[in-house]
């Protein structure tokens, strides 16, 4: 009898929670609207978070949308005496802004539609914020790492994510068209999350919907990422790279362990613990935010990220293709608690990354510049002599048959391309992109930044022409600023050939938002396009020649981009 009573009580509670799901979604949608547009909330005169936390607990099942709107706005000033804001911006990215959720909602009364329209018409001008204040300022709410957030704070975290999507993220239009519907499902999961780990999985799934490589870092914010995403406790005894539907074994870090499992270099692993590698990749894609599939493969192939494994068990059963043979084998992973084994891993990773860092193209006919290794040009050079030093370096480059800009990394010094390469080689006009920034007079839209910021202002600038070959090398590690400077180089050198693989697809400045629970959400805050409106978000920059590596190319440690450049000079 007790069991039956408990079961009935459980069903009643579940029905209560489910009935509130749509009410919570309606509350969040309305709260974000007034948070970002109402003058008292947007200006900080009234605290938007307090409005949320006080009223979210008053939400009840079967409340209609009108009651939700009244709950949120009843204590707000809705009589506006000053003149409505005027937006004179001409080039606007407005595709994200859509108020159909209330303007075309037959369940919302005419009076409430007029109220919300009035709040929008008399919205706040964020250009009036005090110095040091920003539209993305959010409070921090700390909780013990093992403690699940109380329901109202879980809902507040979810609300801030949706507000970010609706009002601050310029690329909402590229997200899944059903995001709002999926968000309602995730909201229900957040409500029902009984542990911190459960809630963090909801957060990971929600952030993955951004499809933005700048938001990739969010997985590191998760306290339970080990149980959700990857093996922090165990590492593979071999290195690998994902190619198509398999892991290609590229190096045996612990040969004895690999030999025991009959694993050798060149083998192809197609399944892990009975799950196909292709399915594992899809599952990881639902928990990680990346702009495109190529970037996903790149991060899953990065050994030290340790993201590919589907569980945190110390042993794995692998399906292996070795030449024409297929077999199944069990292999032991390396424990992160074993200091001697970890030392071997650390040395391997350092040596591997050191080889990439020290990768240079040396040829007497080529001027080679590596984007993550330009700071050394400034070493031991006085400020007043730096211009002369850089002019000398670039003048020498101008006499070579080819100039190569290796953008496969993150720039260590933005001034190299933005200022000095521009100063020496570019015409005064270098309009290589369209940069859309948040429209402070109409948040949720983005206006074109003044083109004068597209390149530095240099008095008495001279231009040195270059008729030789120019190559720009790119891959998925060409990200953000590296993509930006690559676009500049493409404009400065019209004859340039960009070669490699699809880039990260996350150009523009990074914006950071605090979420309850000490989580930090980073995302792309600007819309970056080519002058003809070709988008770079998700797609990456324009590439003239896509270069694809075969398994054997990878095993032979070939640099096909270098080979392509050298062959062009023969």
Q: For 164-254, where are the alpha helices, taking DSSP H only?
A: 179-192, 196-208, 225-228
Residues 445-462 as b or e (16 or more Cβ within 10 Å = b): bbbbbeeeebbeeeeeee
In angstroms, the CA 143 to CA 146 distance is 8
Per cent of the chain over pLDDT 70 is 96
For range 268-291, the mean pLDDT: 97
Class of the CATH domain delimited by 234-348: mainly beta
94, 241, 428, 446, 448 from 439: Cα distances, Å: 10, 42, 28, 5, 9
Q: For 302-372, where are the alpha helices, taking DSSP H only?
A: 339-357
User: What pLDDT is recorded for position 272?
Assistant: 97
Give yes or no for residue 11 having a pLDDT over 60.
no
Give yes or no for residue 232 having a pLDDT over 90.
no
Contacts of 155 (CB under 8 A, 6+ apart): 24, 28, 52, 56, 187, 190, 191
Q: What confidence tens digit (pLDDT) does each residue in 414-447 have?
A: 999 999 999 999 999 999 999 999 999 999 999 9
In angstroms, the CA 21 to CA 83 distance is 38
In angstroms, the CA 134 to CA 438 distance is 11
Q: What confidence tens digit (pLDDT) does each residue in 146-181 have?
A: 999 999 999 999 999 999 999 999 999 999 888 999
- Point out which residues pair with 335 in neighbouring strands: 234
Confidence of residue 392 (pLDDT cuts 50, 70, 90): very high
For range 222-242, the mean pLDDT: 89
Q: What confidence tens digit (pLDDT) does each residue in 325-372 have?
A: 999 999 999 999 999 999 999 999 999 999 999 999 999 999 999 999
**Is the fold of 234-348 the same as that of 356-568?**
no
Confidence of residue 83 (pLDDT cuts 50, 70, 90): confident
User: What pLDDT is recorded for position 21?
Assistant: 62
For residue 92, the tally of other CB atoms under 10 A from its CB is: 15
Give yes or no for residue 17 having a pLDDT over 80.
no
Cβ atoms of 76 and 113 closer than 8 Å: no
Per cent of the chain over pLDDT 90 is 88
What the block records as the tokens of 465 is: 């022409």
In angstroms, the CA 248 to CA 269 distance is 7
Q: 356-568 maps to which CATH number?
A: 3.90.226.10
Give yes or no for residue 143 having a pLDDT over 90.
yes
Cβ atoms of 521 and 515 closer than 8 Å: yes
Per DSSP, the three-state class of 23 is: helix
Per DSSP, the three-state class of 116 is: helix
Confidence of residue 184 (pLDDT cuts 50, 70, 90): very high
3, 281, 306 from 229: Cα distances, Å: 36, 11, 9
Q: What confidence tens digit (pLDDT) does each residue in 476-518 have?
A: 999 999 999 999 999 999 999 999 999 999 998 999 999 999 9
Give yes or no for residue 1 having a pLDDT over 60.
no
In angstroms, the CA 406 to CA 398 distance is 17
3-state secondary structure 515-538: ECCCEEEEEECCEEECCCCCECCC
Q: Please give the mean pLDDT across all residues of the chain.
A: 93
User: What pLDDT is recorded for position 7?
Assistant: 44
In angstroms, the CA 120 to CA 343 distance is 59
Look at residues 239, 294, 333 and name the one whose alpha carbon lies nearest to residue 501: 294
User: What pLDDT is recorded for position 177?
Assistant: 85
Q: For 432-472, where are the alpha helices, taking DSSP H only?
A: none
Question: What pTM value is reported for the model?
Answer: 0.92
Give yes or no for residue 19 having a pLDDT over 80.
no
Cβ atoms of 42 and 36 closer than 8 Å: yes
User: What pLDDT is recorded for position 13?
Assistant: 44
In angstroms, the CA 250 to CA 268 distance is 10
What the block records as the tokens of 306 is: 């340790």
In angstroms, the CA 35 to CA 179 distance is 21
User: What pLDDT is recorded for position 231?
Assistant: 67
Domain boundaries, the chain: 15-208, 234-348, 356-568
């Amino acid at each position: 009898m007790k069991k039956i009573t408990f079961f009935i009580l459980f069903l009643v509670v579940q029905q209560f929670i489910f009935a509130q799901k749509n009410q919570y979604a309606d509350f969040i949608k309305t709260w974000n609207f007034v948070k970002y547009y109402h003058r008292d909330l947007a200006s900080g005169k009234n605290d938007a978070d307090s409005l949320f936390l006080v009223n979210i607990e008053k939400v009840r099942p079967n409340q209609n949308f009108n009651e939700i709107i009244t709950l949120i706005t009843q204590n707000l000033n809705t009589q506006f005496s000053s003149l409505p804001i005027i937006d004179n911006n001409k080039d606007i990215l407005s595709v994200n802004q859509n108020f159909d959720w209330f303007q075309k909602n037959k369940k919302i009364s005419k009076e409430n539609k007029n109220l919300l329209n009035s709040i929008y018409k008399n919205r706040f001008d964020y250009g009036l914020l005090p110095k040091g204040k920003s539209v993305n300022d959010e409070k921090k709410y700390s909780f013990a790492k093992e403690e699940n957030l109380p329901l109202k704070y879980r809902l507040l975290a979810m609300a801030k994510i949706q507000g970010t999507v609706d009002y601050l993220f310029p690329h909402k239009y590229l997200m899944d068209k059903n995001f709002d519907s999926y968000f309602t499902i995730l909201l229900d999961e957040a409500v029902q999350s009984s542990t911190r780990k459960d809630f963090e999985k909801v957060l990971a799934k929600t952030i993955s919907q951004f499809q933005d490589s700048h938001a990739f870092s969010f997985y590191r914010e998760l306290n339970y990422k080990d149980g959700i995403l990857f093996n922090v406790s165990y590492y593979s005894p071999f290195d690998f790279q994902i190619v198509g539907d398999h892991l290609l074994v590229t190096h045996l870090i612990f040969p004895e362990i690999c030999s025991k499992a009959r694993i050798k270099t060149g083998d192809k692993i197609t399944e892990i613990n009975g799950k196909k590698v292709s399915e594992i990749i899809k599952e990881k894609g639902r928990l990680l935010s990346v702009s495109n599939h190529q970037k996903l493969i790149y991060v899953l192939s990065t050994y030290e990220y340790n993201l590919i494994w589907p569980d945190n068990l110390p042993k794995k059963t692998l399906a292996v293709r070795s030449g024409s043979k297929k077999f199944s084998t069990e292999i032991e992973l390396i424990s992160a608690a074993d200091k001697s084994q970890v030392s071997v891993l650390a040395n391997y990773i350092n040596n591997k990354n050191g080889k990439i860092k020290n990768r240079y193209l040396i040829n007497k006919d080529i001027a080679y510049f590596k984007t993550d290794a330009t700071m050394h040009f400034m070493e031991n050079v006085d400020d007043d002599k730096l211009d002369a030093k850089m002019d000398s370096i670039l003048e020498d480059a101008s006499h070579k048959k080819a100039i190569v800009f290796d953008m496969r990394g993150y720039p260590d010094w933005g001034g190299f391309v933005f200022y000095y390469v521009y100063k020496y080689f570019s015409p005064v006009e270098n309009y290589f992109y369209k940069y859309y920034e948040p429209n402070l007079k109409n948040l949720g839209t983005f206006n074109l930044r003044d083109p004068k910021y597209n390149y530095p202002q240099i008095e008495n600038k001279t231009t040195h022409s270059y008729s030789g070959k120019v190559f720009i090398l790119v891959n998925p590690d060409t990200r953000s600023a590296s993509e930006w400077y690559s676009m500049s180089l493409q404009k400065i050198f019209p004859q340039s050939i960009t070669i490699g693989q699809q880039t990260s697809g996350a150009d523009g400045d990074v914006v950071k938002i605090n979420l309850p629970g000490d989580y930090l959400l980073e995302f792309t805050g600007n819309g970056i396009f080519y002058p003809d409106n070709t988008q770079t978000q998700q797609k990456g920059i324009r590439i003239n020649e896509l270069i694809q590596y075969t398994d054997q190319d990878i095993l032979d440690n070939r640099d096909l981009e270098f080979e392509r450049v050298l062959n062009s000079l023969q």
